[in-house]
Structure 1
Amino acid sequence: MANRVRRQHTVSRFYLKGFADDAGKIRRVSLPGEPSIVLSTGDATVIKDFYTVTLPDGSLSDFFERAFSDIEGLAAEALRRILAGTWPIEGEAREAFATWVALQHLRSEDVRSSQGYMNAEMIRLIVGISGKEALRSLIQGSESRPVSDEELDREWMDITKPGGPDVIPDANQHVRLLTSLLPTTAAYLHDCHWTLFKFDRRSIATSDHPVTLAVAPDHPRWQGVGIATAELFLVPLSRRAALTIQPRRRFPQLPMGVERVPDFTKKGTTAIARSINQETAARARKYVYHHPDETPLEGLYLPNPETRDRPSVSNATGLIREEGLFSGMTDEARRALSATSIPGESDSGMSIDDIPWPIPGRRPRTAG
């Protein structure tokens, strides 16, 4: 493929049609509520080169975007059958739609950004444990030049600040994660319990992250929310339908002779529609989408994406020291602490020497 910019969709176009009017127009609401514009489903979720990966020879490839289109084609037919009244869906249709739900979650901007955050946190931890002089040695060894105290201070402060250095999420790394997790995630969702909600009048909205992973109110905040810990997967299907997917572990006690809870349909109520729309809006990244002539977001809380908590892999602040974590320790204490596999000090962990310099994908620092 020539090295040119491609318009790529982060949310499937066939899916957005279920929320559009007869002319194929959909309303896009920017969080936390403005601006609100009407545009075609073909323009609603476009990001340039989002799935374009860099090959070993430096050329760019859109192979994965084309591979995703095969999954979308099968899922579009499954969704058409669901909305036309076929329920439950089984066999190849269920497999196709479970695969699409898994793909739609894994290819989201949130998943890619989380990878960038985790990379930055790990770099912060490794450098913070190693200390300033180890950072000086890394830079000098990589660039073959002396590093002044002033430059070292700037680098240290930027890398060890809360959250770590600002790292641009990497498309190649994201696609590797996606392709490795897609088969098992799809199989997991396929085996879950599915409930279809149908609404006669109430309008359902969707977002740029249409697969919501929800947990119980008492879920430990430190644990995070992932595929294995989610209590519920919520997927708006159209302006009049939504799907919930619940792990089988939610139904530990079944009547004798019943192997699994069957999928079923529920009539949607105003309260259910409001709850679905609130969850969808709360988990959106930047945009919420709905039919241009309806107001499903009225009275709901719309978050400001800039104030969202940044995910963290650990609370590393107590481990970060200019002199290095192990400075002043006896050999015995150092060996004991090393046995805990702290990155940089365990034979099986990373050290500061494993960090490429310059840090790949690091955003330029602002002046001051």
Structure 2
Amino acid sequence: MGESPGRRSSSRRHHTVPRFYLKRFANADERIMRVPLCGEQAPRLCGVKDVAVHNDFYSYPDGSGQLDDSVEIALSKLEGDAARVFRMVVEEECWPLPGPERKTMARWTAAQYLRVPARRQAANEMFDDLTKITLAVGGKQELRKRLEAESGGPVSDEEVERKWAEKTDFSSYTVKAPVLHHLASMAGGISAASDVLMQRGWVLYRFKRKALITSDHPVSLVRDPRTPHWLGAGLATAEAVVIPLDRRVALMMSTPGIPDRTKSPSAALAWDFNQRSAYGARSAVFHHPDDTPLVGVELPSKRTREMRASHNPEDFIRPEPPPGA
């Protein structure tokens, strides 16, 4: 996603959902209705510039310790290209898209799927679990080696015992992966993910009366009912990928191999898309201030975890190596 490293963007406030996209669900004053998930605050009218914002979310420290914004700069370039394609689809009613513009839409959708906070949280949860499991399996012997490497000399039994008690109190701390892990995964995954989306048949729906919502995680996956319950859904394995492009337009990336086309919308389909957007949200959904699209839509509770492991790190604790090891 390269720009030259070390460049700083003009703002530390990074949108994890682009402003140009959110404006499509806002009024002329760029105000949008933010509806928190169940248990959160009341709905309120917000400026587009103030929603889905995280400070320095795409920045990472370079070799000199300065924040590098090359990822944010590359995303901004992709957003500029995508905004033009959105105008072609929504305002100019250009469909199917020509090849280059279709590829831009695929890349933007792939990037949007990979860039959101949920992806980073999932990576952090996996990193936390694996770090703690490695410590538990290694036992005090491996902990001693690590402490001696850090201190540059021998450590006492008392220090090992103290550190072991501290580090195996797993619920008292979390270990986060370096930010660069998520950014590298995102940058490396966009091309492969967009290739998968390019192979799908795209279906466009234009709604005249019913309004659509979006969320802080706007790309939704339609799970294939034939998929085993224990297997997750991804861009390649989902039955379809859905993203609202505008308060009146939705795109469904469906079965591979079929031609791109438009289909007639319905009230039931609008509700289905809105319910999927709500279920995909992590903190809030958004809609145009003049619309009432949440009638009959269930808002879930705020999600606290992205992953569920079948075992806890405590299950792997081995303070001492087994006999003969």
Q: Please, which of 228, 231, 237 is the counterpart of residue 236 of structure 2?
A: 228
1:321 counterpart = 2:317: yes
2:124 aligns with 116
Shift of 1:92: 1.1
Q: Please, which of 136, 146, 154 is the counterpart of residue 138 of structure 1?
A: 146
1:262 aligns with 259
1:155 counterpart = 2:163: no
Shift of 1:50: 0.6
1:277 counterpart = 2:274: yes
Cα distance change on mapping 1:317 and 1:49 into 2, 3 Å: closer
How far apart in 2 are the matches of 1:215 and 1:230?
5
Cα distance change on mapping 1:86 and 1:194 into 2, 3 Å: same
Cα distance change on mapping 1:207 and 1:232 into 2, 3 Å: same
What letter matches 2:322 in structure 1?
S
1:366 aligns with none
1:7 aligns with 13
Structural mapping, 1:88-237, within 5 Å: 88-143=96-151, 145-146=155-156, 147=159, 149-158=161-170, 165-237=173-245
Identity value in percent: 32
Q: What's the C-alpha RMSD, in Å, of the aligned pairs?
A: 2.4
Shift of 1:242: 0.8
2:75 aligns with 68
1:26 aligns with 32
Does the 8 Å contact 1:132/1:156 carry over to 2?
no
How far apart in 1 are the matches of 2:275 and 2:309?
27
What letter matches 1:168 in structure 2?
K
Shift of 1:295: 2.0
SS in structure 1 of the partner of residue 75 of structure 2 = helix
Shift of 1:166: 1.3
Structural mapping, 1:81-92, within 5 Å: 81-84=88-91, 85-92=93-100
How far apart in 2 are the matches of 1:103 and 1:319?
37
1:348 aligns with none
User: What's the CA shift string for 1:64-84, capped at 9, x where partnerless?
Assistant: 111111111111111111112
How far apart in 2 are the matches of 1:42 and 1:87?
30
Q: Please, which of 262, 279, 293 is the counterpart of residue 290 of structure 2?
A: 293
How far apart in 1 are the matches of 2:207 and 2:196?
27
Shift of 1:36: 1.3
What letter matches 1:153 in structure 2?
A
How far apart in 2 are the matches of 1:12 and 1:287?
15
How far apart in 2 are the matches of 1:186 and 1:100?
8
Shift of 1:169: 4.7
1:39 aligns with 46
Shift of 1:285: 1.4
Does the 8 Å contact 1:28/1:37 carry over to 2?
yes
Residue segments in structure 2 that go unaligned for 5+ positions in a row: 1-6
SS in structure 2 of the partner of residue 234 of structure 1 = strand
Does the 8 Å contact 1:3/1:60 carry over to 2?
no
Residue segments in structure 1 that go unaligned for 5+ positions in a row: 249-259, 332-368
Does the 8 Å contact 2:9/2:73 carry over to 1?
no
Cα distance change on mapping 1:4 and 1:82 into 2, 3 Å: closer
How far apart in 2 are the matches of 1:211 and 1:310?
16
Structural mapping, 1:235-254, within 5 Å: 235-248=243-256
How far apart in 2 are the matches of 1:87 and 1:178?
29
Cα distance change on mapping 1:157 and 1:177 into 2, 3 Å: same
Cα distance change on mapping 1:2 and 1:262 into 2, 3 Å: closer
Aligned residues: 313
How far apart in 1 are the matches of 2:48 and 2:24?
10
When structure 1 is superposed on structure 2, of 98-107 and 181-190 the one drifting more is 181-190
How far apart in 1 are the matches of 2:96 and 2:9?
44
1:252 aligns with none
What letter matches 2:300 in structure 1?
P
| TM-score, scaled to structure 1 | 0.78
SS in structure 2 of the partner of residue 47 of structure 1 = strand
